[in-house]
Structure 1
Amino acid sequence: MVLPTPALAVTGATGRLGGRVARRLAAAGTAQRLVVRDPARAPDLADAEVVPADYADPTAARHALAGISTVFMVSATESADRVSQHQSFIDSAVAAGVDRIVYVSFVGAAPDATFTLARDHWATEEHLRASGLRHTILRDNLYLDFLSLLAGDDGVIRGPAGNGRVAAVAQDDIADVAAVVLGRPEAHDGACYDLTGPDSLTLTEVAAKLSSAMGRTVSYHPESIEEAYASRARYGAPDWQVEAWVSTYLAIAAGELATVSDTVQRLTGHPPISLDDYLHRLR
């Protein structure tokens, strides 16, 4: 029996965020097409078909999106050409006859954002707006899930964040919001949502919470910009990536990640997960 074409496609389903969204949609009984680079890694979900495609391959992308109305678009893996990959995929969506894209962006996305990758997200947003597609933009803060990974082996979080604050958001909360939006996408056309956690914390406060929860001492060392570049030079990463790493902390110092929004509570009906709650779940 030939199954009907699903109206919804989810990208990034082999990753942490896209996989969470796909599993929530499957639990709700929503048919979906999982557009992934490696089908062997795609989750095995009810009412989900798997189609291979890469953002930078227009032919494969058009084929993968044929017959689809709404696309959940997770940003591509960080790379020097990520913006061009995003633009190519959006163009492929237009060519395939897609109606709308729900795009995962970053809070404070702007052409002059301190965080360099937030500028990339702005460029993608602008291309999406110019495409003529209906769209919804989910601007996530830093992932709460990754705060516990900021400390080095010596238990020190290093970065030029000063006393700035960050309202980090859990990936589970982002996925909950995405599932709500994708459940009735037409109700969210044109919306741009900032997604944050319930608290705006300094990295000193983050370190204290990690110390309490993890049973080891974690501290924060506010590096200078020069120290930040020097301490990351040993990784041998390309310049654009090192700049992205350092500018994450500089965006915190500039106050660009500090604002707490009510979006998670308002759209999902439940409060966002705090760092304390998240760390408690890890125990």
Structure 2
Amino acid sequence: MDDLIVVTGASGRVGRRLAVRLAAEGAHQRLVVRSADRAPRLPGTETEVAISPGYADVDSMRAAMTGARTLFLVSGREDADRVTQHRAAIDTAVDAGIERIVYLSFMGAAPDATFTFARDHWATEEHIRASGLHFTFLRDCLYHDAIAHFVGADDVLRGPAGDGVVAAVSHDDVADVATVALLAEDRHAFDGQTFDVTGPTAFSLAEAAQVLSRATGRTIRYQPETLEEAYASRAGYGAPQWEVDGWVSSYAAIAAGELATPSPTVKRLTARPAQSFAEWLDLNPGDWAHLRR
């Protein structure tokens, strides 16, 4: 058994970036994706395993993890039963002989977190702790990309965030931190550790609207909503209640101050500053092209 790393979600926004970085470092990795044709083609990739439907596909997950020591576990797609899928992946990892999990969690994960999806992450963390495996939790904040996608077709960024601020982070910074955590020579220094992964500063959604206005040349504004208004404005999407709760509570978590504190993790572990929201816009024009109408 060598230092084979299993990377889940390898066709996603963080997983793909992580796989590219691990390949550049010469790591031996196995990519786990839902569709094999979406997996990045990289040196050092042993196999590509398609899992469907998700982590509950125990046989495919066991095949993906057999012979590996380390698992990078990205959270599954948002779902009413996501915690059950996460627990299945963790239990399969134990059965397959995995020794260590680096789990991509969420900032403020807690049983009573305002952001309802952060409660899923807390439950997953607790299951990992109980598994007996070595672990590292990377709790990322909301992504810069999410902030850009908060803007509606009418150029209004609306939600019940009040005057709260958010220390949003880029996918690239999260992938860089994950690379360090997975490849560190002294991996024991990461055992049992939890790291918040954020951007360099926190900003309000009103400030985000100003930055987006400068970048797009459009007039984008922030419109605070009450919780009642937020639920009413999203009622027409036909989404299930658990999903609407997640949408609305992401803003409410900002208002509650639960995503407000910048962390030095990116700079400390990568020896470079984290990307600000404005820097992310400059570096990733394709990710907010929908705003240049």
Interval of TM-score (by shorter of Structure 1 and Structure 2): over 0.9
Q: How does 1:58-73 map to 2 (within 5 A)?
A: 58-73=58-73
CA contact (8 A) 1:6 1:33 kept: no
Q: Which residue of 2 aligns with 1:115?
A: 115
TM-score, reference length from structure 1: 0.96
User: TM-score, normalization: structure 2?
Assistant: 0.93
- Range with greater deviation from structure 2 (102-111 or 140-149): 140-149
1:51 aligns with 2:53: no
1:160-239 aligned at under 5 Å gives the runs 160-184=160-184, 185-239=187-241
87-96 vs 138-147, which moves further: 138-147
Measured in 2, the distance between the counterparts of 1:28 and 1:97 equals 24
Give the Cα separation in 2 of the matches to 1:267 and 1:113: 27
The 10-residue stretch of structure 1 (27-36 or 79-88) with the greater mean CA deviation from structure 2:
27-36
Name segments (4+ residues, structure 1) moved above 3 Å. Answer: none
Q: How big is the shift at 1:228?
A: 0.3
How many residues get paired? 280
Deviation at 1:199, TM superposition (A): 1.1
**What is the CA RMSD across the aligned residues, in angstroms?**
1.2
SS at match of 1:154: coil
Partner of 2:106: 106
Q: Distance in 2 between matches of 1:92 and 1:151?
A: 40
Where do 1:1-283 residues align within 5 Å?
7-48=4-45, 49-53=47-51, 54-184=54-184, 185-282=187-284
Name structure 2 gaps, 5 residues minimum. Answer: 286-293
Structure 1: 5+ residue stretches without partners: none
Aligned partner of 1:248: which letter?
S
Q: Is the 8 A contact 2:33 2:49 kept in 1?
A: yes
Give 1:145 shift: 2.1
CA distance, structure 2, for counterparts of residue 62 and residue 281 of structure 1: 38
> CA shift at 1:146, angstroms?
2.2
Report the more deviating stretch, 57-66 or 227-236: 57-66
- Kindly provide the CA deviation profile for residues 107-153 of structure 1, in whole angstroms up to 9, marking residues without a partner as x: 00000000000000000000000000100000000001222111101
Once the two structures are TM-superposed, the CA of residue 52 in structure 1 deviates from its matched residue by 2.5
Measure, in 1, the Cα distance between the counterparts of 2:231 and 2:265: 35
The secondary structure found in structure 2 opposite 1:279 is helix
Q: Which residue of 1 aligns with 2:289?
A: none
Residues 138-180 of structure 1: CA deviation (Å, up to 9, x unaligned): 0000001222111101100110000000000111000000001
Cα separation, 1, equivalents of 2:50 and 2:123? 26
SS of match in other structure, 1:55: helix
By how many angstroms is 1:51 displaced? Answer: 1.9
